């Protein structure tokens, strides 16, 4: 069964782990929605559906044609993600009346892990960094790519609708874009005489919606991508989450917070935030991207 980080944290009796997960999810629209599948071993080999089977009408006595879906075998390997946080014992003892130093340090480390995951979720490339996993930019296929033009162009609602229509079997669960693109989308909506819908997410923060689809902002989607002769382009991703779509992979137990203990060389104790994780795309039509968005 696939669970989001937030749902998985509710099953943990470790308040420190639950606090770390809540901190990470608050800052990331992806981690709020991306379900994770626990797998045994260090990776998962699976069949990714590339094309669906077809059907036809037949007359009496006709010869029936066999047609099957096509698959591509893919492997997603768990990667080691995390960091250490040292808490100085002197500061912890003398400044505990001001704030919980341990909680503050661990919270900052949790945000560092979250920002690295958000960056890798979009831009990860095992070819250039074998220690990371492939992100959605690398996983999106050519047939699931919509372009604003040979040299890019300004965003239009028609092109955004075309991107949404690339996702089959239901609407996308998230439209992921940069802050600049979200501003441009707001201008487009106002120019057309409407406004983007808005509602609160599970953490009480305001979130915008386009045609009922949540809009997420990712600070690691670059606004200086090169398309043709233009070097000021950005990308919007449409994603559908789930076990048959795009899902996260994690080792049993998920994200862990490990107390390494007292250090030998300094008066401090160490806490390690550790996560064995990756992502898997089970069906190519559950992920699409719109490239070449110029300001």
pLDDT digits (tens, 9 = 90+) for 124-163: 999 999 999 999 999 999 899 999 999 999 999 999 999 9
* Helix (H) / strand (E) containing 23: helix 15-27
Q: Which residue has the tokens 């045994």?
A: 40
* 107-124 pLDDT per residue, tens: 888 889 999 999 999 999
- Lowest-confidence pick of 34-38, 118-122, 189-193, 219-223: 189-193
Query: Which of the following CATH numbers is that of domain 3-51+71-134+244-281: 1.10.3720.10, 3.30.2400.30, 3.40.50.300, 3.60.150.10?
Result: 3.30.2400.30
| Predicted pLDDT of residue 201 | 74
Per-residue model confidence as pLDDT tens digits over 220-265: 999 999 999 999 999 999 999 999 999 999 998 888 888 898 988 8
How far from 82 is each of 104, 111, 124, 138, 200, CA to CA, in Å?
Answer: 17, 11, 16, 22, 30
Mean pLDDT over the full length of the chain = 89
C-alpha neighbours within 13 Å on the C-beta side of residue 78: 21
Count of alpha carbons within 13 angstroms of residue 166, beta-carbon side? 27
For a pLDDT cut of 70, what percent of the chain falls above it? 95
Residue, of 41 and 229, whose pLDDT is higher: 229
Q: How many Cα neighbours within 13 Å face the side chain of 84?
A: 10
- What is the percentage of the chain residues whose pLDDT exceeds 90? 58
Identify the helix (H) or strand (E) that includes residue 83. strand 79-88
Residue whose C-alpha is closest to residue 132's, from 83, 176, 75, 78: 78
Task: Name the more confident of 200 and 11.
Answer: 200
Q: Give the integer Cα–Cα distance in Å for 136 and 152.
A: 20
Q: Across-strand partners of 71?
A: 49
Domain ranges of the chain: 3-51+71-134+244-281, 144-240+286-294
Average the pLDDT over 64-68 and give the result: 85
Please tell me the predicted confidence (pLDDT) of residue 9: 65
Residue 96 reports pLDDT greater than 80? no
- Is 58 a residue whose pLDDT tops 80? yes
For position 70, what pLDDT does the model report? Answer: 78
154-182 burial by CB neighbour count: b if 16+ within 10 A, else e? ebeeebbeebbebbeeeebbbbbbbebbb
Q: How many CB atoms lie within 10 A of CB 149?
A: 15
| pLDDT of amino acid 192 | 85
Residue 14 binned pLDDT confidence (cut-offs 50, 70, 90) = low
pLDDT above 90 (res 40): no
Neighbours of 150 (CB within 10 A): 11
Structure tokens at 258: 């490990």
**Averaged pLDDT for residues 38-58:** 86
Residue 149 CA, distance from chain mean position? 26
Handedness of CA 109, 115, 117, 120 (dihedral sign): negative
Give the SS3 label for residue 138: helix
Q: Quick check: 97 pLDDT over 70?
A: no
How many whole angstroms separate alpha carbon 212 and alpha carbon 252? 34
- Alpha-carbon gap, residue 116 to 248, rounded angstroms: 15
**Better-scored residue on pLDDT, 183 or 192:** 183
């Amino acid at each position: 069964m696939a669970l989001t980080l937030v749902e998985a944290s509710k099953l943990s009796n470790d308040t420190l782990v639950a606090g770390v997960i809540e901190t990470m999810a608050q800052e990331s629209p992806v981690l709020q929605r991306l379900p994770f599948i626990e797998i045994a071993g260090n990776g998962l080999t699976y069949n990714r559906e590339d094309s669906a089977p077809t059907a036809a009408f037949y007359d009496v006595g006709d010869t029936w044609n066999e047609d099957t879906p096509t698959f591509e075998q893919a492997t997603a390997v768990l990667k080691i993600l995390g960091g250490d946080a040292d808490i100085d014992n002197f500061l912890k003892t003398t400044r505990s009346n001001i704030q919980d130093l341990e909680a503050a340090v661990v919270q900052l480390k949790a945000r560092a892990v979250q920002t690295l995951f958000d960056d890798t979720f979009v831009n990860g490339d095992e070819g250039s960094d074998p220690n990371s996993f492939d992100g959605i930019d690398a996983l999106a296929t050519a047939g699931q790519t919509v372009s604003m033009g040979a040299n890019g162009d300004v965003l239009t609602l028609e092109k955004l609708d075309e991107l949404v229509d690339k996702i089959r079997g239901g609407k996308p669960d998230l439209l992921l874009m940069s802050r600049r693109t979200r501003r441009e989308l707001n201008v487009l909506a106002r120019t057309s005489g409407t406004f983007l819908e808005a509602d609160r997410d599970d953490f009480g923060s305001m979130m915008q919606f386009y045609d009922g689809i949540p809009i997420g902002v990712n600070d690691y989607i670059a606004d200086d991508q090169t398309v043709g002769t233009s070097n000021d382009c950005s990308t919007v991703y449409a994603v559908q989450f789930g076990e048959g779509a795009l899902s996260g992979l994690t080792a049993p137990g998920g994200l862990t917070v490990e107390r390494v203990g007292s250090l030998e060389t300094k008066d401090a104790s160490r806490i390690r935030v550790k996560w064995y994780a990756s992502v898997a795309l089970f069906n190519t039509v559950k992920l699409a991207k719109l490239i070449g968005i110029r300001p």
